[in-house]
Structure 1
Amino acid sequence: MLIFKQSRYIALLVGVILVSFSAISLMNPEGTAATGENVIEMGKLKSASHQSVEQLIPQAASVLHRTSHSAGIITPMLYTTAAKPVHTWTRTVSAGWLSPEKLQRKDAVKPASIVTKPKVTVVKASPPVAQALRIAATGTKSVKSSKAVTQQHPPATLFFSRTKLLPKEQQAEATWSYAVSGEDLHLLQKIVMAEAEGEPYKGKVAVANVVLNRLRSANYPDTIREVIYQKRQFSPVANGRLKRVKPNADSIKAVNAALMGVKEVTDDTYFFLSLTLAQDLTVHHSRTFAKTIGNHTFYK
């Protein structure tokens, strides 16, 4: 009692505790000692595991339910649905390969397909190759290309009859033939250059025709060299011009054409001279006029 006198707060606390026990006794007049069914020891709740709590809670709920109905007192019911959910969500994880088609949206606009044309490489063939391909395709040659080839490669043999130079196709009618050497070809090109450098192309061919006509004739030497170097016949030989000249492209082309049978004067034409430059006009007065080409006059 001395403690209560010294501290009024302790006395007040004890009174509150007694009032609380009295209230509990009034709310449960039957008591729990007789039945012992609705008592849940706090020690058990503290020491129980999660599964034990789940088992104890339903038991307490059922006891409270029965007690409230029997006593006629309406008390709130303890529901256990919150402690143990009804619906269980299951997460399913599936793995698989993702293709570009699955990643693409269904409503996405498909890109237009790009069509690439094969690259074509054009190779230009050289003239001889192009000509060979054309001949293989058509089986024929053009007249112009044939002449160009033959002009570059003059014949090595000439065929003569008594009166004219024969083409190779008529060699069976020839009375004799002449083998053209490299020296003969070069001398023929030089005499054409020396005599007709400033003359037209046809005039150059005509000069070569005259030399070949003399080679065929029995009245002149039997070789091209001897025909050209015959005394007092060609002025470039006498004045030394023949040794100094170098044949140009037109002179070479004209000589090749004459050897192939191209004729700008007839086979009986043996002379030519320039009336403006010649000092001796004997040929002009004694021979038959045949043709004039450029500055040269040709005679039979």
Structure 2
Amino acid sequence: MIFFILLVLATSVQAAQPIQITISTMTEASSTKATVTAYLQKLLEERSNKRIQVHLINNPALTADQLVQSLQTTETQLAIPEINKLHDQAVALKALELPFLYRSRQHLHQIIDSNIGTQLLSSLEQNNLKFLGIWDEGPEQIAGNRELPADSTLFFSDPAEKCCLTSQRRSPEAGHQVSGSWQELTLGEIESAISRQAFSDITLTNHRLSGHALLVQRSFWNGLPEDLKIIIQEAVVNATEYATEMADKADQDAYAKLRQQDRINIHPVGKDSRKLWQKKVLQYIAECCGPTDTNLLYQAVY
């Protein structure tokens, strides 16, 4: 009888042990994404009544692929890599950043939640990964010394490359020239770089949405109790809404500051120009790549 009581007590203590979740990011501890991650931590711990304990690691020295690779070990349970910096791991996510694929941030999330998104992201399961969401940043624009011409081939990659479209964002720190003197940056990046770069013109293409993916180790996820899965999914939704609010505000603030710059010309892009670029991109994929998954995704979306 005593043995039975001790066994029950031991089982109860074991069952009461909180689930440890390490969340790793590539950002500085002072960054906006780190703030959103801390908010996610707060939601997870409060809503689970401390059944989940979260440890945050913000390490900008990590590469995106190293971050995803850490999910294959016991080091990390939830990783938040920058999609545009993925090379070897979770490459299917790079399709989310192709130019002119989405009309808006809302459209992006609609596609992710649709059957098209499910089919695209199902390939992650082969690498023991599960996609929980995306914290998108502001859309990218084109900054340079003149307005981007409507017949520009800026969005095409080198035909010699294996990838038919460029889906990796250009780093403003590296000063990468995407075509001539043009650079591909968010409004916030343009506003931050304006004192260092001789930009005179901004073409509001809104052509690419970059962001951070929320990836969890699939085997870890499958082992969680169902009620905790629901708590995590709902917390991710709320944290994503918070991330979107912060991204929108940052975009609005940067746009307002740029409009105050007398030497900056801001050029909106009309629907006809966007349709022309979309048509060129689709034609380019069809000619260079054939019936690839990327082409099918474009056709399905538009």
| Fold shared by both chains (TM-score > 0.5) | no
TM-score, normalised to structure 2, is 0.20
Structure number having the greater strand percentage:
2
